[in-house]
Amino acid sequence: MEQMRNVSPDAESWALTLKQRWWAISKPFSIFFNAAILLLIALIFFLPFTWMLVSAFRENPQLNLAFSNFWLGNFVQVFTGNTAIWIRNSLIVATGATVTATTTAFLAAYPFARFNFPGKTLVLFAMLLSMTIPLGVVMLPTFSLARSMGLENSLVGVFLIIAGRQIPLSVWVLKEFIASVPMELEEAAWIDGASKMATLWRIVFPLTAPGIAVMGMLTFLVGWGDFVVSFLLISSEDLIPISMGIYKTSLEATAYGQLRINYGVQTAISLIYMIPPIVLYLLFRQHLIKGMTAGAVKG
């Protein structure tokens, strides 16, 4: 950039026309080149899905791509099974976690964004650090804690644990969003006589909606995808979520020799399993991008 500035006006306009010409020539190539890279990436990302898409509609598929006759039997089996209950349970977990984590994190983010108080940095840093603890290695203490609180075999227990684990990230992100809301807006409302809670609800909340959408969606995805927490806490047949349901449809080898992996049913359920996240993304896409933009600018 430095050297560009030193070019004389003449040369500059010449360079401009040259550049325009170059662009005219290279534009088709550039379009082609860009589109090609994009499509290549799209293709590569799509390939792993093909087996699932094909096998869900085939009879007794194995772990390779085989185009036998189109067959809907897997779905019949899926819908005569417990799938509806599994979906319900997963929805309870995901929604519960989303509402709990997002609400509490939003409320908590407000003081963190607006006030200085002793220990603030410490708590924020502790929260960040706590995110580094993988669930996999604190599973047993988490489990025994939940048991001692009477949360075993309860969907509430599952979503509270998930929500608790989502709080640090949510607080961090929402804090940034709230900080970006001009304080004058709030102050104006106070002068008009609005209470502080009312201001929070009517001024701050709508302006941070994109951020809330982002965190809500992330938490929903975590809750919807959860396997580990449910596996630990849930033992009743009618409380298991769909992730465990998929697992149940597969039986693996034992020393004893039993085996039946029904890939047809597994892929069929998997397809159904993927619908809510997709719908959610389509619904919140605009918010998500807006939210990310706002969050990213703050960085």
Partner 1 sequence: MRKANWLLLLALPAFVLWAIFMVGPFVRGILMSFTNEALVGPNAMNVHFIGLENYRRLLSDADFYNSVKVSSIFVFGSAIVGQVGLGLLLAVLINRKRKIYGKISWAIALTTAIVILAWVTPAAVTGLTWTSFLNKYGVLNQIIGVFVGSEVAYFWLAKKPMLSIILANIWQGTGWSMLLLGAAIESVPHEVNEAAEVDGATSWQRFRYITLPLIMGPILVNLIFITIWTYGVFEVPYMLTKGGPAGKTELLTIYGYQQAFKYFDLGYGSTVAVGILVITMVLAIIYYRLLGRQAWNK
Partner 2 sequence: MKIRTVITFLALLSIVLLLAACSGAPTAAPSEQPTQAPAQEQPTEAPTKAPPTPAPTEKPVEQPTTAPESEQPETITLSLAHPVWFNDHDWTVTKIKEWEAKNPGVTVKLVELPSPDGPYREKLVLDLASGQGPDIYLADTFWFGEFAEAGYLANLTDYVNAWDDWSQWYDAAKSAVTYKDNVYGLNRTTDVRPLYYRKDLFEKAGIATPWQPTSWDDMFSAAQKLKDIGVKAPWMVKAGKVVGEATTMQGFYMLYLGCGGQLWNPETGKWDIGSQCLRDTFQVYYDLYIAKKLGGDPDNWLAGDPISNYRQMMQAGELGMIATWNGDWSGTFGPNGDFPLENRDEQLAYTKFPAQAPGKGIRGQDYVTISGGWAFVVNGASQHVDKAFDLLAYLHTKDNVISYYRDQPTLPGGLPTRQDVTNSEEWQSLVDDYMLWQAEELVPLTTFRPPVPEYPKVSEAIQSATETILLGGSVDDALAQYQDDVIRIVGEDNVTK
Q: Which of residues 104-123 bind partner 1 (CB under 8 A)?
A: 104-105, 107-108, 110-112, 114-117, 121, 123
Among the listed residues 62, 68, 121, 286, the single contact to partner 2 using CB under 8 A:
62
Q: Which of residues 70-99 bind partner 1 (CB under 8 A)?
A: none
Q: How many CB atoms within 10 Å of residue 113?
A: 19
52 binds, among partner 1, partner 2, none (CB under 5 to 8 A by kind): partner 1
- Should residue 253 be labelled a site residue for partner 2 when binding is judged by CB under 8 A? yes
Contact 199, 76 (CB under 8 A): no
Among the listed residues 127, 194, 207, 209, the single contact to partner 1 using CB under 8 A:
127
Among the listed residues 25, 133, 185, 198, the single contact to partner 1 using CB under 8 A:
133
- Should residue 124 be labelled a site residue for partner 1 when binding is judged by CB under 8 A? yes
235 binds, among partner 2, partner 1, none (CB under 5 to 8 A by kind): partner 2
Say which residue the tokens 């709030």 belong to: 186
- Should residue 152 be labelled a site residue for partner 2 when binding is judged by CB under 8 A? yes
Helix (H) or strand (E) holding 250: strand 250-251
State how far the Cα of 65 lies from the Cα of 51, in Å rounded to an integer.
Answer: 6
Contact 288, 213 (CB under 8 A): yes
β-pair partners for 102? none
- Should residue 185 be labelled a site residue for partner 1 when binding is judged by CB under 8 A? no
Residue 104's identity, in one-letter code, is T
Q: Is 73 left (phi over 0), alpha (psi -120 to 50) or beta?
A: alpha
* 27 CB burial (10 A radius; 0-12, 13-18, 19+): exposed
Q: Which of residues 186-225 bind partner 1 (CB under 8 A)?
A: 196, 221, 224-225
State how far the Cα of 182 lies from the Cα of 199, in Å rounded to an integer.
Answer: 13
Q: Which of residues 198-237 bind partner 2 (CB under 8 A)?
A: 231-232, 235, 237
- Rg over CA atoms, the chain: 26
9 binds, among partner 2, partner 1, none (CB under 5 to 8 A by kind): none
DSSP codes of every residue in 118-142: TTHHHHHHHHHHHTTS-HHHHHHHH
5 binds, among partner 2, partner 1, none (CB under 5 to 8 A by kind): partner 1
Among the listed residues 99, 179, 194, 209, the single contact to partner 1 using CB under 8 A:
179
Contact 183, 124 (CB under 8 A): no
Taking the least distance from each CB to partner 2, the nearer of 175 and 213 is 175
- Should residue 29 be labelled a site residue for partner 1 when binding is judged by CB under 8 A? no
246 binds, among partner 2, partner 1, none (CB under 5 to 8 A by kind): partner 1
Taking the least distance from each CB to partner 1, the nearer of 105 and 239 is 105
Mark 258-297 with x for binding to partner 2 (rule: CB under 8 A) and - for no binding: xxxx------------------------------------
- Should residue 274 be labelled a site residue for partner 1 when binding is judged by CB under 8 A? yes
The distance in angstroms from the start CA to the end CA of the chain is: 25
